[in-house]
Structure 1
Amino acid sequence: MATTRDLSPDDAEALAALYDDYEWWADRTVEDVRRALAETPVAVGVEADDDLVAAARVLTDYTYYAKVYDVIVAADRRGEGHGRRLLEAVRDHPELQAVDGLALSCREGLVPFYESVGFERFDREMPVPEGGCERLVRMTYEW
């Protein structure tokens, strides 16, 4: 039986182990994960058989914006519904109910999964105050 719960800095070791399985995030140290969890407004995990098998973090202002980060499901537990359970717990989290909606970025190959749990592709033009429309562009700044 899988259960969902909020994560805390005490879960850093288990979460770092999950990240270790995922090549992109294998360089995340337990101490860095602990610090990230301490500063993350909402962090949710799924446990099955006493193991953390899925997790996500949400950065939010509790009013306008909530962005989901670091969604991960243990490689050997994929296909068991843990990703869906995780995102439903994030969506239904009591601290996020006043927020207008959730946003996330994902790899193209994961779009069908996120659509299956209610996310919609946000790849369009938006009306701007000056009149007309402009395409929204995701920007990043790397150190």
Structure 2
Amino acid sequence: MIEISTDKAKLNIQVIHNYLSNESYWAKGRSLETVRRSIENSLCFGIYSENKQVGFARVITDYAVFAWLLDVFILPEYQGKGYGKKLVEAIMTHPDLQGLRRWGLGTDDAHGLYKQFGFAPLQKPGNMMEILNKSSH
């Protein structure tokens, strides 16, 4: 049985930190304190199988205009079972995230998953700017 919850009390911070810091390509070396702070300040989604956390995602949003989806993962032993699709579907249909003008995300390898939910390459990438602090995780 699969459950998806936004209850932060259910999140297994150790599982999340271990995956992000040791297994992800985007958050290698991220500190436990940074993971905790990011969870405190985001709308978080845990996905559970048999009451065990098997994945995670978080959304940074103003709940009115913009949302950024990030830190999405399914533990390797649970990948390929449709859990990622169920997790993104729960996020995209969450009642507090409806009617937003713009969603954003970055991915190196999951374009096919996100395309199913309407994500596409930037229409005007030249309009986007960033500050990337490579020494910070």
Q: Which residue number in structure 1 is paired with residue 127 of structure 2? A: 136
Q: Distance between the aligned counterparts of 2:41 and 2:58, measured in 1? A: 10
Q: Distance between the aligned counterparts of 1:7 and 1:26, measured in 2? A: 25
Matched, 1:123 2:122: yes
**TM-score, length basis structure 2:** 0.81
Change (3 A) 1:135 1:29: closer
Contact 1:124–1:136 (8 Å) recurs in 2: no
Aligned residues with identical type, % of pairs: 22
Change (3 A) 1:56 1:23: closer
* The structure with more radius of gyration: 1
Structure with the greater relative contact order (CA < 8 A, sep ≥ 6): 1 or 2? 2
Contact 1:19–1:28 (8 Å) recurs in 2: yes
Give 1:50 deviation, angstroms.
Answer: 2.0
Q: Deviating runs (4+, > 4 A) in structure 1?
A: none
Change (3 A) 1:93 1:123: same
**Structure 1 spans left out of the alignment, 5+ residues:** 126-133
Q: CA RMSD in A?
A: 2.3
Equivalent position amino acid for 2:29 in 1: D
Report Cα offsets for 1:35-67 as digits up to 9, x if no partner.
211111x11111012221111111111111000
Matched, 1:106 2:107: yes
**Structure 2 spans left out of the alignment, 5+ residues:** none
Q: Which residue number in structure 2 is paired with residue 50 of structure 1? A: 51
Counting matched residue pairs gives 132
Change (3 A) 1:53 1:21: farther
Q: Which residue number in structure 1 is paired with residue 60 of structure 2? A: 59
Give 1:8 deviation, angstroms.
Answer: 1.7
Q: Distance between the aligned counterparts of 1:55 and 1:4, measured in 2? A: 9
